[in-house]
Structure 1
């Protein structure tokens, strides 16, 4: 546990990406009013950041496998900070380009920091990923508060100055990262000029990863319905904004705080046990949410947050263990892309189902998808030896 501080640094690097994504997204209505654009453009601006991450994460992960993880992460920081500062001088109508470039830089930070956690914490990956994800998740919690305070005291552009400041702070911290506990070897030959292509193809061909990619996508569906559609259920019950805020705060807290604990449990037992348990708890609770009210709804929401947080951090840990030699960066980059895909498609799918058949059907459908994913990873007996194969 003497090597905890590199995990804290990597968590802060990941915090840069979550803070940068959310501090802008939650304040886009202010931008829309200033520039004179509609709701559709707000959606496009949010999507631009995540679309860049979907495309760039596997690429940067594969580049890191060959060119070096710290160097790739530093390059991502430079790109993110430069894009953030550029908004202070460009025409505000170029925000979509700024957001895309920010997303590309964030992709390098997310994919490589996620991979390096697995390289530093060889014997305690579960707990390490729990700590890492909790710090990253804190960016989503504090960014609305900080962004709102900035808007009150200044203007929308200063949000980008704050994003740049956080990135600048992460740069010297990244420089002092020591060599990982295990050697991160390149999985490509020196004469291979197609950086990342062979590594990426190898990752996609690794059949042992696909069940966990499915679990990752479904778990992001859970995230989408908890934070996007649980407020709709609360609104239907006419509980008011105070209760809505209380429930969402409880879900966020349970989601973040459980991750180090779930990681510690995964280090002591087979990680698949914790993932299966998390999926089962989250799936059942989500199915029950639309028929619950009062304190039962509150408890179900917290339990769902615990289940989702458990699956989130322990799939990261498990996928890093399944990564083949020389392909840790590419593997975690692809895993990150599947998270982004689930994050984008989940709300869209549940929204369409809920619109067509009602909110109850939307929740039940999402919960059933979780149970389907549980069945997928229960069909065969994954053992610890397979993780390191």
Structure 2
């Protein structure tokens, strides 16, 4: 029986700094598209004749598409290279957003949201994989920047979406999203280098199962899910708490802005500390999630607008610490030839957290009150800190079981 040989891996790409910026813009686009439209649907549901059931379906369509398709498109980016998947996904996002120009009918809104979600499922994990391959030894630094822009999209999407709707209605918002997707697609086409697919061994089902259940994958993915779940809940419930304390609309929305700024400012710095060896992955992820848990408890149980703003800072800082460390750990512990599949599966974890966090808080709040809903979320976020992986393995050799070629 002959020995199994592995083709040589192409030399690493050494891009100019500007070649990464379209990838950050793609990360912002998917987050902004999800939250800007979702907030607008909730605010304008009565004016466009949506029942609560139809509203719930429209809100869920984007996330449902991402949950099912992100791992699929992540694997596709491993097969054909990430750039075509990014550009194609952004163009599809732009086209789907055009449907929303006629957003006065629930069926058209549903088609637009589903199309946007399917398109984001393509370019989001492919962008993450590209950041990982272009980062070299600075995965922490560049995932810090990527996470910073994506976090901004999540957190300020509702505010920008509301401003767009107030200025020109849903059609104006969808027009902005269409132009954004098209612009980032063109930018990516001309600025991001084409990363060729790498030689890949054939994996058995047992190999895929083992890779998906390793602590080096499950740990960071749970951390990302917990951080994103807390972000989703904070964006929805912190303004509600601020309004209960007597703050006006501007003061209530500003809580989310404070959270977004705190998270965005800290992420690149945390990534740089990691790259210099000054911050280890596990202590950083644990500290980040504990900060989120403390901030969530503070928001729920300490009365007063000042405490709500302090909670927003703690939650934002915690998310900003945990997120780049988790993504960088995933990138460094995954062979480059399957980065797309890994990032797609990790993004699936984030989507489940994004949906599950607000649902958990809302469900418990119905039965016991909002403070206890936030307390339940804080408990789960703190528990997720125990899943943080303790060691870091840089691009391990492939562990796939050799499969004889077909005759």
Contact 1:350–1:362 (Cα < 8 Å) also in 2? yes
| Aligned residue in 2 for 1:3 | 16
* Matching residue within 3, 20, 29 for 2:33: 20
| Aligned residue in 2 for 1:317 | 328
TM-superposition CA deviations, 1:130-162 (whole Å, max 9, x none)? 111222333345544554454344342232221
| Aligned residue in 2 for 1:357 | 368
* Matching residue within 178, 185, 188 for 2:193: 178
The answer on 1:231 being equivalent to 2:235 is no
Contact 2:99–2:111 (Cα < 8 Å) also in 1? no
| Aligned residue in 2 for 1:54 | 67
**Structure-2 separation of matches of 1:381 and 1:149:** 44
| Aligned residue in 2 for 1:204 | 212
TM-score, structure 1 length as denominator?
0.87
Cα deviation for residue 371 of structure 1 reads 2.2
TM-superposition CA deviations, 1:143-185 (whole Å, max 9, x none)? 44554454344342232221111111112211131255xx751
| Aligned residue in 2 for 1:283 | 293
Cα deviation for residue 286 of structure 1 reads 2.1
| Aligned residue in 2 for 1:246 | 254
TM-score, structure 2 length as denominator?
0.84
Alpha-carbon spacing, 1:3–1:67, altered in 2? closer, same or farther (3 Å): same
Alpha-carbon spacing, 1:201–1:77, altered in 2? closer, same or farther (3 Å): farther
Cα deviation for residue 2 of structure 1 reads 6.9
**Structure-2 separation of matches of 1:188 and 1:65:** 12
Cα deviation for residue 188 of structure 1 reads 5.2
TM-superposition CA deviations, 1:234-280 (whole Å, max 9, x none)? 34434444442333321221122211112112222322222121112
| Aligned residue in 2 for 1:328 | 339
Cα deviation for residue 72 of structure 1 reads 1.3
* Matching residue within 304, 307, 311 for 1:300: 311
Cα deviation for residue 89 of structure 1 reads 6.3
Alpha-carbon spacing, 1:157–1:315, altered in 2? closer, same or farther (3 Å): same
Contact 1:7–1:131 (Cα < 8 Å) also in 2? no
User: In terms of mean alpha carbon deviation, does 109-118 or 146-155 score higher?
Assistant: 146-155
**Structure-1 separation of matches of 2:82 and 2:347:** 16
The answer on 1:160 being equivalent to 2:167 is no
Instruction: Name stretches of at least 5 consecutive residues in structure 2 with no aligned partner.
Output: 1-13, 397-407
Cα deviation for residue 108 of structure 1 reads 0.8
Cα deviation for residue 120 of structure 1 reads 0.4
**Structure-2 separation of matches of 1:130 and 1:305:** 14
| Aligned residue in 2 for 1:75 | 88
| Aligned residue in 1 for 2:385 | 374
Contact 1:19–1:140 (Cα < 8 Å) also in 2? yes
Alpha-carbon spacing, 1:152–1:243, altered in 2? closer, same or farther (3 Å): closer
Cα deviation for residue 5 of structure 1 reads 1.5
| Aligned residue in 1 for 2:144 | 130
**Structure-1 separation of matches of 2:361 and 2:47:** 32
TM-superposition CA deviations, 1:35-82 (whole Å, max 9, x none)? 422232222111101110111110000011011111111221222122
Alpha-carbon spacing, 1:212–1:136, altered in 2? closer, same or farther (3 Å): closer
**Structure-2 separation of matches of 1:199 and 1:94:** 42
The answer on 1:105 being equivalent to 2:112 is no
Aligned pairs, how many? 378
Contact 2:48–2:104 (Cα < 8 Å) also in 1? no
**Structure-2 separation of matches of 1:65 and 1:199:** 16
Alpha-carbon spacing, 1:153–1:357, altered in 2? closer, same or farther (3 Å): closer
Alpha-carbon spacing, 1:224–1:326, altered in 2? closer, same or farther (3 Å): same
